Structure 1
């Protein structure tokens, strides 16, 4: 029989007669217990197994989307939200074609949503309170993507100008959340980048006024601003100096609190608090920004690398500024195989990494819960963009799609980091305006491709508007998943550690697997134009205790006490055992509010150990290394329990 930690009053015949002194001792004891647990200790039920099966290493068509997936993000554990440009999608809402929708991945159902204004080539990211922003876009259009007579709605598509729009959505699971409009931006922004800051606010960088294949001096907006607003926009020298390929500047918040910005060939670190840029060396081998559109990602932040940010760039196009014109055979130009990385907080130099198996433009680099990186989508030749020139493939400026993904292993030796063993191929070309995002069950949701000015589903067109949507199932997918107990719903910046319990089944019958078990956080990001804005992966510090019955407890640290390492807001939490992730749960990082986050000292972790039982009882068979910090050890718990016992015994 299981006894409650807090027995009912009926368990104590004289409970009503307890001396006030004892009552206060009990309160004191339970307060100590609460303090020992630290921050919020509300936990999730153990995650179960994936709701569906899939063939490991393969793609599965799961249906057709209501709108083309130019932009997608995972808003809840069940919901993927789509944002498209205004075009003649067959789904209707409020008397006009829909250009936004919601896909419930569990029941595999969808609903159209009103996108409000034209979100063509907008940027997006999530605020520290969990609200998603979709920022900027294009002017109002009519059939064929032509400018509408009115920029205020009406006409064929009833789409107001979206270039200054800030559209907000707080995701929900009941179908009752919709996009709303906030105040306008200070100026038009088509192709802006959006990054979440350490206080949960947003910085918005770059863009242009009217669009086109690339930017130009007439229409560029080489500034940045903030949401919530901090006043007038601020001019950025790197954006001024990197025309014409300065749209969607590649941007990451660094643990130092600076921002890394990579645009065209140039790279800087931006001290956005003091509005100063510090030049770094040019990126080698290829342009990585749109429309070269390399795959980019910040590699996993782990205890082993002291949560040091390293950014990886793979693919793109080796074109000089004067070559960014649409008067030559762009689709025949080979994309780059080059991969380079930089760790700007510790070194200002780019480092060559293992090249891609084939050149690729418009590749999405997507984190798996294991910390591996899936490279998916894109083309071997050409660039992003479309037009009506004779050289275009239909309208596409790219050709020769890459149908087979490949996986990057950050911890593999140099020369062995890319691998596609056991991976199958898709049958769907994922060209310009494709997207991908990780789902909680560890599969990858893949949709989109539309290098066309309006919906075009002509069967004779090589790259039509694509609604077919797939899941890709990594090799671990059908393995029995760990079902950890004790996953917190909210994780803070520093504070006391928490315990995660794993059964013998979770450890695949070998308690030794606790040694390499990890607890990771993944922000899946806002996917568009070969980027997942805000995507980030962090491994929490942990130690373990293994028990004779084959179970184990992971002792897990809160986040490092620096919100710039991983900005506040929602993220997925996974436990990975023997390369197999638990089904992810959506947790809140930080206090769930905009503004300065509470910082606490990181708690100590007990040393790792596996306990064995023999005829002399339970003993420790081996030790590991505990993490650095401050926390409660067994002596602290003995003291707390002793206080409780004394209070109940009446000795005080």
Structure 2
């Protein structure tokens, strides 16, 4: 039993820290809100700190300028709703990105230097109207501690356009696939069927999978699994990659549709929780059922192809087989899947017909290879009974088409930031059905306006295994009902690097916990284990920590998982948790 003086002392110390309270925005649950314009079109987005979102565009003639040329990167400050143009140095068109275990974000690859309309520039070392050196071998990283700019790494990646990045269990990065010159789909003359590492581990390694899966093997869909292997999915083929030994194991062929770019299905690793023993299941929904030969057939009208409704999932550390899940209510390509703190998946953006991409084709809508955009979002609940997992109940619709080059990102207050859409070769706004889009929206999930928990005791750094810690709640934090402490969970979310219908590195991990209350039931306590003692469950680096009470999340705070350094992470024994109780259980603090 916790003595009253110890309980009071604990609260006094905890209250001395800065406690996240209510969201700054005044949005309405289930609604979109137009919150202003970005400086550039949001082809790529990631959350650098709890107050800074970084946005990256392809090189084009954006009205905002920096260093005497158009800007194609910006820093957006959430608290003040202000924007600052940044110099991204090289052409970042169709790069990949993710965050290292020390908190540094990487933006890798891109396009050759271009001039107006995306036409190849005469020089690849800068100059001209855009001053955009070749980005195909570049690696950029921004600082994330205030007013800062991008820097060009001395490391040069192999020439890559459309690469995928995944953070590994030691906090380093694997850089996978892509092509050398770009285009709608890949081909044998420019395919780069290799993977390499940052920091470097030597020459790139050839992947037979990426050699076999032309032409739709760009942005290969990739996840680090708890087993330490990687799931790779391209075209119709799926493998497990053991990158340490350089071996690949074939799994089931993908059913129903192509999911990789430019079919661009919605994809996500579902929440890893104590209830499923942190076992990874990956969900794929939508995309396009287009045969391999049709992607390069000039007579095939891409924009008229209906997007797939199919949803399938696979649990690759358990079984090589795909299983069908509840289908989408309507077919959708270019969907963004965003993990919310309550454990649901928010689906936004996309189109009913066509695919990602643009070009000068007589059948294109302007230049867009997609048409008939979706305006109403969806929510997926893996815990719901089969047949009831998809819903749009209570959701408003946006009025803004969000198709090719749109992005979506979870914010610390639990809202979703949505921006971008530009199926055009350059900045284009006049007389087009789908112009370059600068309007930025927030979507407010069903929990948004509720009184948020204000937990005390969240640490700033978490270890793999080790001693548990206690988070304290007032009765108000628990919605006025002490039994809600039994419906409380601690959750880590990496929002990821959003581009081309993917959020590279996005992950949701619930920590093991138990609960108790004060003697007078005026306060509740959640005893929380550290991160499971396996860095492959969630790689080291920054993440948002949410406490969720009866499906209402706190404001997320940024924590560092692991040592904050690159290298093998220390794994500690797990401290056993006490049994849960709603009354009269002592807590060690």
Does the alignment reach a TM-score above 0.5?
Answer: yes
Deviation at 1:551, TM superposition (A): 1.5
User: Is the 1:151–1:160 contact (alpha carbons within 8 Å) kept by the matching residues of 2?
Assistant: yes
1:606 and 2:578 are equivalent in the alignment: yes
Query: Deviations along 1:83-127, whole A, 9 cap, x unmatched?
Result: 111000111111100110011011000100000000000000000
Deviation at 1:49, TM superposition (A): 0.9
Partner residue, 1:468:
439
Looking at structure 1, the residues matched to 497 and 534 of structure 2 have their Cα atoms a distance apart, in angstroms, of 23
Looking at structure 1, the residues matched to 515 and 379 of structure 2 have their Cα atoms a distance apart, in angstroms, of 29
1:50 and 2:12 are equivalent in the alignment: no
Looking at structure 2, the residues matched to 92 and 103 of structure 1 have their Cα atoms a distance apart, in angstroms, of 15
1:350 and 2:322 are equivalent in the alignment: yes
User: Is the 2:108–2:157 contact (alpha carbons within 8 Å) kept by the matching residues of 1?
Assistant: no
Q: How does 1:224-239 map to 2 (within 5 A)?
A: 224-239=195-210
**Which residues of structure 1 form unaligned runs of 5+?**
8-40, 612-618, 621-632, 638-652
1:247 and 2:222 are equivalent in the alignment: no
Deviation at 1:550, TM superposition (A): 3.1
Looking at structure 1, the residues matched to 15 and 359 of structure 2 have their Cα atoms a distance apart, in angstroms, of 53
Looking at structure 2, the residues matched to 238 and 81 of structure 1 have their Cα atoms a distance apart, in angstroms, of 33
Q: SS where residue 347 of structure 1 aligns?
A: coil
Deviation at 1:47, TM superposition (A): 1.2
Partner residue, 1:282:
253
Partner residue, 2:534:
562
Looking at structure 2, the residues matched to 162 and 491 of structure 1 have their Cα atoms a distance apart, in angstroms, of 36
Alignment RMSD? 1.7
Looking at structure 2, the residues matched to 180 and 44 of structure 1 have their Cα atoms a distance apart, in angstroms, of 34
Partner residue, 1:117:
90
Deviation at 1:48, TM superposition (A): 1.1
1:482 and 2:446 are equivalent in the alignment: no
Looking at structure 1, the residues matched to 156 and 17 of structure 2 have their Cα atoms a distance apart, in angstroms, of 39
User: Is the 1:59–1:424 contact (alpha carbons within 8 Å) kept by the matching residues of 2?
Assistant: yes
Looking at structure 1, the residues matched to 115 and 353 of structure 2 have their Cα atoms a distance apart, in angstroms, of 31
Partner residue, 1:642:
none
Deviation at 1:80, TM superposition (A): 0.7
1:519–1:214 CA distance, 2 compared to 1 (3 A) = same
User: Is the 1:311–1:343 contact (alpha carbons within 8 Å) kept by the matching residues of 2?
Assistant: yes
Partner residue, 2:482:
511
Query: Deviations along 1:583-642, whole A, 9 cap, x unmatched?
Result: 00000000100001110011111110011xxxxxxx57xxxxxxxxxxxx87x88xxxxx
Deviation at 1:281, TM superposition (A): 1.1
Query: Deviations along 1:32-76, whole A, 9 cap, x unmatched?
Result: xxxxxxxxx999632111112101111011011001100000110
Query: Deviations along 1:141-179, whole A, 9 cap, x unmatched?
Result: 00011000000000010100000001112212x32x211
Partner residue, 1:374:
346
**Which residues of structure 2 form unaligned runs of 5+?**
none
1:316 and 2:287 are equivalent in the alignment: yes
User: Is the 2:69–2:130 contact (alpha carbons within 8 Å) kept by the matching residues of 1?
Assistant: yes
Deviation larger for 74-83 or 546-555: 546-555
1:494 and 2:465 are equivalent in the alignment: yes
Looking at structure 1, the residues matched to 510 and 76 of structure 2 have their Cα atoms a distance apart, in angstroms, of 29
User: Is the 2:95–2:110 contact (alpha carbons within 8 Å) kept by the matching residues of 1?
Assistant: yes
Of 115, 123, 131, 1:150 maps to 123
Looking at structure 2, the residues matched to 454 and 555 of structure 1 have their Cα atoms a distance apart, in angstroms, of 53
Looking at structure 1, the residues matched to 131 and 318 of structure 2 have their Cα atoms a distance apart, in angstroms, of 51
Looking at structure 1, the residues matched to 158 and 486 of structure 2 have their Cα atoms a distance apart, in angstroms, of 53
Q: SS where residue 324 of structure 1 aligns?
A: helix
Deviation larger for 213-222 or 49-58: 49-58
Equivalences, count: 579
Query: Deviations along 1:237-291, whole A, 9 cap, x unmatched?
Result: 1100000000000000000000000000000000000100011110100000000
Deviation at 1:131, TM superposition (A): 0.3
Moved segments of 4+, more than 4 Å: 2-5, 41-44
Partner residue, 1:72:
45
User: Is the 1:245–1:291 contact (alpha carbons within 8 Å) kept by the matching residues of 2?
Assistant: yes
Partner residue, 1:132:
105
Deviation at 1:329, TM superposition (A): 1.7
Q: SS where residue 275 of structure 2 aligns?
A: coil
* TM-score, with structure 2 as normaliser: 0.96
1:168 and 2:141 are equivalent in the alignment: yes
Q: SS where residue 75 of structure 1 aligns?
A: strand
